[in-house]
């Protein structure tokens, strides 16, 4: 792997043309010039370079508007590859994809707590090495590694500032992986990475503003505006799980009381079932997954728990709508496997509480990317830099 292949694409005009081909393929040179306002000679020159580099390919001739039929352009999905990592809090998963998000290799390791910074970074390295060893892809074609990391991340330095569910702080993930593998590495909060993955691979079309919410062991979200992630001043934008719902509520992992996470995470659902369901099983066997399975079996008390959780999530999302007013909200994570029990309650809560009729109708869906949403989000961290203008 090398950094140079990345730098070949970094000029603004190249990025503009690449992104236009990606979003509009198949497309002709003339149409690119018309849509981007770049001159035809500039477009032809840059397309020639992109063809030589192999990232763009030509197809059969397009429809003629009079005169010679134009040659159409496409992105060559197999020109380059990306390694994506979903890091914690329970497992480290790693994939190798092409530019279209097609997965070719996959590895996974369970995390056993307690764990140290060095042990965690070692597991990251081991999984990337496994991918490289099992793949027949040329190293030169792998343009980088994207890491979707649980907790708060300093995006500029690629440092995990705090991973509360792992009890870890100040991990220099970017520096360690770049030293080990000699390639570009991007590190992002997992929920924000998931949001970017939704924007790239979720089939949502041209949505100006979208929020993706990851609901599992914790709750986080990412805000995408005009194809770009919004980070906030200190990189904590999207910490929806730590929005206070009840100032007298349970103490959250963050130290505050009554965070949304204490009501709607997988653990919170299990805790509520333990206290509310008369014949609930004791101990560690009662998990969010168990609640879902009982609801699937038609157990009314467990169904009520999930419906109540949906209402609480809906209240949190209503607050989000009032703050950001996104065109679309996409929900993912393990808790959303209970979609059929919770989504109607989520939508009902929004319809009841949103300020204006249009806000009440904010589109709320569950990701179609399933368990790959965060992994593909990690991959998209590299693709944004490759395709989008600086």
Tens of pLDDT, residue by residue over 366-388, are 999 988 999 999 999 999 877 77
Domain membership of residue 376 (yes or no) is no
Domain membership of residue 383 (yes or no) is no
CA distance 44 to 100: 24
Tell me, yes or no, whether 65 and 88 share the same domain.
Answer: no
Domain with 12 in it: what CATH number? 1.10.10.10
Residues in the chain: 390
Tell me, yes or no, whether 213 and 190 share the same domain.
Answer: no
Rounded to an integer, the average pLDDT of 219-231 is 89
Tell me, yes or no, whether 215 and 178 share the same domain.
Answer: no
Tell me, yes or no, whether 166 and 248 share the same domain.
Answer: no
Structural domain count, the chain: 3
Share of the chain above pLDDT 70, in %: 93
CA distance 219 to 259: 10
Tell me, yes or no, whether 232 and 281 share the same domain.
Answer: yes
Tell me, yes or no, whether 251 and 331 share the same domain.
Answer: yes
Q: Is 44 strand, coil or helix?
A: helix
Tell me, yes or no, whether 193 and 322 share the same domain.
Answer: no
Tell me, yes or no, whether 62 and 113 share the same domain.
Answer: no
The confidence band for 390, taking pLDDT boundaries of 50, 70 and 90, is: low
Share of the chain above pLDDT 90, in %: 67
Note down the domain range covering 156: 81-197
CA distance 272 to 294: 14
Residue 10 confidence (pLDDT):
47
Tell me, yes or no, whether 135 and 99 share the same domain.
Answer: yes
Helix (H) or strand (E) holding 387: helix 373-387
Domain with 161 in it: what CATH number? 3.30.420.40
Q: Which of 335, 213, 192, 212 is nearest to 263 (CA)?
A: 335
DSSP sequence for 282-349: PGGG--HHHHHHHHHTT-HHHHHHHHHHHHHHHHHHHHHHHHH--SEEEEESGGGGGHHHHHHHHHHH
Tell me, yes or no, whether 263 and 327 share the same domain.
Answer: yes
Tens of pLDDT, residue by residue over 319-332, are 999 999 999 999 99
Rounded to an integer, the average pLDDT of 19-29 is 87
Tell me, yes or no, whether 94 and 162 share the same domain.
Answer: yes
Last residue of a domain, one of 157, 179, 197: 197
Instruction: Please list the residues that pair with 149 across neighbouring strands.
Output: 87, 189
CA distance 69 to 88: 52
pLDDT reading at 69 higher than 80: no
Domain membership of residue 380 (yes or no) is no
Q: Which two tokens stand for residue 165?
A: 């569910």
Which has the higher per-residue pLDDT, 231 or 171? Answer: 171
Q: Which two tokens stand for residue 149?
A: 């990391």
């Amino acid at each position: 792997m090398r950094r140079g292949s990345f730098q070949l694409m970094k000029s603004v005009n190249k990025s503009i043309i690449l992104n236009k081909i990606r979003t509009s393929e198949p497309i002709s040179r003339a149409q690119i010039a018309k849509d981007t306002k770049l001159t035809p000679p500039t477009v032809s020159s840059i397309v020639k370079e992109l063809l030589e580099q192999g990232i763009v390919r030509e197809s059969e001739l397009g429809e003629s508007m009079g005169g010679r039929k134009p040659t159409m352009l496409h992105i060559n999905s197999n020109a380059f590859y990306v390694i994506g990592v979903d890091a914690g809090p329970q497992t480290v998963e790693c994939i190798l994809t092409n530019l279209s998000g097609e997965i070719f290799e996959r590895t996974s390791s369970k995390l056993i707590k307690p764990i140290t910074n060095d042990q965690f970074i070692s597991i990251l390295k081991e999984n990337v090495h496994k991918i490289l060893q099992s793949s027949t892809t040329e190293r030169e074609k792998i343009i980088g590694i994207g890491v979707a990391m649980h907790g708060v991340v300093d995006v500029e330095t690629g440092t995990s500032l705090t991973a509360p569910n792992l009890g870890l702080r100040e991990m220099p993930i970017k520096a360690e992986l770049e030293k080990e593998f000699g390639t570009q590495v991007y590190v992002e909060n997992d929920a924000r990475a998931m949001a970017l993955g939704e924007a790239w691979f979720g089939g949502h079309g041209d949505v100006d503003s979208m929020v993706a919410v990851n609901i599992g062991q914790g709750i986080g979200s990412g805000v995408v505006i005009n194809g770009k992630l919004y980070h906030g001043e200190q990189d904590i934008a999207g910490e929806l799980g730590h929005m206070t719902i009840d100032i007298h509520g349970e103490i959250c992992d963050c130290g505050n009381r009554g965070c949304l996470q204490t009501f709607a995470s997988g653990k919170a659902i299990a805790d509520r079932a333990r206290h509310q369901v008369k014949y609930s099983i004791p101990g560690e066997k009662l998990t969010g997954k168990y609640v879902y399975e009982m609801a699937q079996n038609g157990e009314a008390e467990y169904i009520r728990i999930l419906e109540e959780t949906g209402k609480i999530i809906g209240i949190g999302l209503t607050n989000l709508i009032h703050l950001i007013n996104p065109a679309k909200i996409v929900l993912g994570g393990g808790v959303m496997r209970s979609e059929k029990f919770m989504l109607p309650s989520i939508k009902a809560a929004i319809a009841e509480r949103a300020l204006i009729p249009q806000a009440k109708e904010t589109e709320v869906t569950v990701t179609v990317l399933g368990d790959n949403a965060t992994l593909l989000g990690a991959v998209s961290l590299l693709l944004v830099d490759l395709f989008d203008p600086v």
